[in-house]
Structure 1
Amino acid sequence: MTTPLRPEDPAELGPHRLVARLGQGGMGRVYLARSRAGRLLAVKAVHARYAGDPGFRARFRREVAAARLVTGAFTAPIVDADPDGSPPWLATAYVPGPSLRDAVLRHGPLPEGAVRTLGAGLAEALDAVHAAGLVHRDLKPSNVLLAADGPRLIDFGVSRAAADATLTADGAVIGSPGYLSPEQAEAGEAGPASDVFSLGATLALAATGRPTFGEGPLEVLLYRVCHEAPDLDGVPGPLRDVLAACLRRDPGRRPAARELPGLFLPESDAPPAAGDEWLPGPVAAEVAAGADAADGTGAGTGRGHPFGRRKALAGLAAGGVTAALAGTAVWTAGGADLLASVMRKPAPRELWRKQVPHGSIAILGEMLVHDAGEALSAVDLRTGSRRWERRVFPEPDDPAAPEPSDGGPEPLFAAAGDALYAAGGPDDSLRRLDPATGSVVASVDDLVAATAVLGAQDSVIFCGDAASTTLTAVDGARLTALWTIDRQPEDVIIVPPSGGLVFRARSSGRVHAYAVADGTQRWQADTDAGAMQALVLDRGTVYAAGRHLFALDAATGRKRWVSTGPSGSAGGSVVVRDGDVLTDTPRLRAVDRRTGATRWRRDTPRLGPLAICGELLLASWLGSPPGDRDEGLLGWDLKTGEQRWRYTFPSQDVVPTAGPAAYIETSGDRFAASYGALIIAFQIS
């Protein structure tokens, strides 16, 4: 909101009489002013510490001259300036309306029609900027004002002549993280296509109410812009296609600004905005109230009535003409090391650690469940604080009966959808738990046996018996047995989260596939892996990792290809992301899922099971012999295989066990690792 002038403020800047303060930024202070003809202006006075720099004045002068070339219906042009004044200043047209950022924060996302009109107007404004030989370079929601007759693109403070590379140092990065283009984030050439990318990100916020690359620290946003797809969920289909085109990583594949008005409003040649009908009611009311407040301030007579909230204009004036705005990141070529540091990809940081009786864990959203001996315990994944702890099974009637949690090799509980299942107890029963409280909501004790939960697919739960000689499929909703098959104790059961198949891997390397619906064997296939077979089902292909990596058709078991890895012992894990299969067969490598060709390969120590969190491939590294205190976690870049992270387990916190192995569970940008009797949670940031 506006504040009264202070004694140290000038009464005038050039021919313009100052009325009130609008705001202040890193480069100068902004005033509301009246021209001699009574026109309302936003006037920015540059701070004295910059005004004394001859280089700054020269740059200021050149950019003001360039910005004056911009004319367009949807820009807030510079109407007057004095780069040689004391202090230097410039005046822009006053726009009585909120910024897009403030409007979305106060009233939520705009309807599709308003977003289309907004996009057409801003695209026309960018075309005017580009026609003048400029690049805006900092289009973002706070640099867009919403007026009754259409949007206004403001603040050409960090724009420069497209052909003039001398205004800023080579390698400079200027813009607002989350809205700047990948080429800006990587300190490359920022041309007109860069503005189109920023337009796409700005309109995505208008349509969804959230930043398309999320929120977070500077380096996280820069990484997402360069490496992750924009989040356009909730954007209507045809409009989503236009925004996706604007947000392409390759600048050469983005549409030009001049093409966009016709894409946003394909059925009309009318101007993008007429009257205040383009805005939803609450925003239109705010625009009208702002215009009324400006008309009734008495600014022309000096009566000093208060102005309405003008945070948007403060955002306009707070920006520097040649350097940083509030919320704008600027790095110069002289800070190459700083740029490299900023562009360093996010690495995990430890959130908390916890000693537990046993290290079995499962994650449901923001909650981690672990084995607490005779009970199950749930903690907040973010903080480690306890949510509940509950004894799921009653104490056995026979004092000689085994404890319900005996630390066996197979898990006693598992998460499935929005439910939690636990097996065991004195009666070998299966119980469904309320994950919010840990209370038992349903139970069944007439199964063949249920001492371990081996996994879940959709609503089917798979249980094993104490001797590991049966596999039982259970309807998770009704807790009734669907089917049971025999297995050998050394067989490994693999339950994919979806796909309609469950697998049994034999010590010989043979893989058996069973239908989840009825337990019938669909096929069997021979591989060269043993009982510790690593197997995953993805997009109709089963990948089995041994000394070689086998790609099997999920419907028939037929071999699609076999990837011959480097010689050595069999691998132990396989995961899939996008077009790559990641495996340690036996060295860590990424393989093209279609052809089996190796994309990259890394020599590593002996690894535990692989997991993926964000853009990071994770695994534990194991000492030799197992249990060696020099053990921990490693993280590699999914695309390049470059090692980005190393974490050594704190030996003083580890309760010795017989050969501890670390297992990793993930949820969003957080993951937890269990190591012996220690659980450690991390977040990638």
Structure 2
Amino acid sequence: MPNPLVQPLRTDDPDRVGPFVLLGRLGGGGMGTVYLARSAGGRVVALKTVHEHLAREPEFRMRFRLEAEAARTIGTLHGATVVDADTQTVVPWLATEYVLGPSLTEAVRAYGPLAEPAVRALGARLAVALAGIHGAGLVHRDLKPSNVLITTDGPRVIDFGIARALGARRLTRSGQTVGTPAYMSPEQATGRDHEPPGDVFALGGVLVFAATGRSPFPGEEAADVLYRIRYGEPGLGAVPKGLLPTVSRCLAKAPEDRPRPEELAEAWGGGAADSEPDGFASLLPGPLLADIGRRAAGPWELRPPRRSARSWPPPPVGPPGGKSPGPSRRRLLLAGGGGLLALGAGGGVWAAVRSGDGERPRSAQPSRAPGMAPAPLWTYRGGAEATVVAVSEGVVVVAVGDEEEQRSVIGLDAGTGAVRWRQREHVVLAPAGAGLVARTQREYPLDNTLLSLSPRTGELRSFRGALGKLTVQDNDLVAVDEGAVYVSGQAKGRSRAIAAYTTGSGTRKWAAEVRAPDAVKSAVVTGGLLVCGMTHDVAAFGRDDGTVRWRRTVDDSLGGIDLHPRSVAAGRLHIGGNDVCTVDLTTGKVLWRFGAGPDPYNGGLTYFGVPAVHDGVVYATALVGHTVETQSNNVIALRASDGKLLWQYPLHTMAKTSPPVFFHDGVLFHDTGKVPQPLLAVDLRTHRPPWTFRSGLPDDHRPALDMNEGRTALVLADGRLHVSCGAAVVTVPATR
């Protein structure tokens, strides 16, 4: 029988980390501790913590942040799904799903080497996993038996503690080796770059262990092992003959002589055991299957011993002399049983998050000094002006180019910033296309058409049917949804029209005339309506048939009405312009106005940006004054029910009015339009910035391609702020 899976919590372990209650210890290693934990909703997770003194080291903190990003990127298919993480606290932590299976190390040591069919299936699935990891722009760099978990669904690859993005800078000093000696590649053993072929070499070693119970390069001392890897031959005498040719190729000394993961998957049958009634599980020995079954029941039967309840006194003010006593700490020993989430061997010492006697257990607290912005997760620097347009399918879609009519598109990995693809053709992303629709940039405008853009691959495809033949000289894309695109264009005579086309077949669903001379500037799809902003009016059309539901004059400004999905909430549409106007979406009735009338905001002469709604409050930028020099600009907060001014925050400089602000974790984020300081954060509780972010990029005073948009753009997605500043894109955590 293997050692018990979960060890009791120690008296100096915390009760909880972040939102998770700790149940017990799963293991430990060179850099910290892994706990079994449970969320408030009852989900069981493996929670990995980092020692505070290691987290103070910028290199180590960056490595842990990359681990969390890499784990998110690999996802459910090949690893352990990331449930939550906080890499910005004093004690960073990462919570992943609790994988119900032993490591390959535990399985082989407890139940013996796997049979050839099982090794073949294991190899096929691990090859598919590596192909996915490399396809995501990552290299694992520490693939070994303890980082492969065996489940009935197949193996899971874990512990990306020393993973690195392809092409990213090294986090180790020149000549320093990172990884586990017995499974290092020759190039890794000499301190050279470890690229995808290095992971293939490690895979060969993992399969030798699975088939024989031994590493192909055994040895007591690390130096001896590394020498054998570089100059010796692997020990393959006990490897089944059916596996020997392919495993030998994996262990070739020269990286170029090793097969690609896709070749390995094909050579080993691509995981053909899936055709069996029980798939991968049918190839595993009975005792190992029974072990997995026990683990499935274990977390719910777990009642780990707890420390005695005691009241925690308030922390002392401090001893005489003003020095505060530091918490007592004991060095932790490696926990037994192997651990469900093995810890990386990237150097340093791990320790539990704990407190000394008389000290309340601490949940992780922000490690930044007050006012210090979160550190960027990654930065992309290109040679031409860059504009973040959208984030979709894990890709940041960015328009690039120094001339409006000579721009194209690139896709950056949202987790690492690596370039996933480049579109060579000159195209312009449609502003209303959510990064999914572009138009061609041909010499003759009559030849320009709309194209579908795949955010995952960057591939451009022509639409079918009438939509594919539609030229965009006199037609503008105004909105998209899951099944249709909506285009505003010229109708007969001087009138304008709005039309809906299906994205699949390209057929026109309906067309509705818009009385002259109005043009549709913007639109939002909400419920069963397509709501369009025109020169002075807002009109609602039936989403499915184009019938006019209502039309209302709401603004007398000359710029036209700019609508946005974040301006819609609780059946109401909030509109900026010469005032802030709120319209009932069912009837078109104006419910309230703010800023104009007999008691104008700041004496009048104010232009209000596109509003955004959050938790019953409407937020907008307010530009007050006759000229740029005399403007006094603010972010204002209005009660959504009646438009009452709740509070405001001064911006001091010229402000962007579109797109509307973003919100995350109780903080408002505003795109300033300024390259040196492109982002403003305002705490919604204190109405003050929790920190100030500076890009570190000088303002070279180059003119913006669009004077209304400036040289910055901001998109919030999955808790990350993606900001373009001139020719760079910076991604930072959206944290308080």
How high is the TM-score relative to the length of structure 1?
0.49
Q: Which has the higher contact order (CA 8 A, sep 6+)?
A: 2
Compare CA radii of gyration and give the structure with the larger one.
1
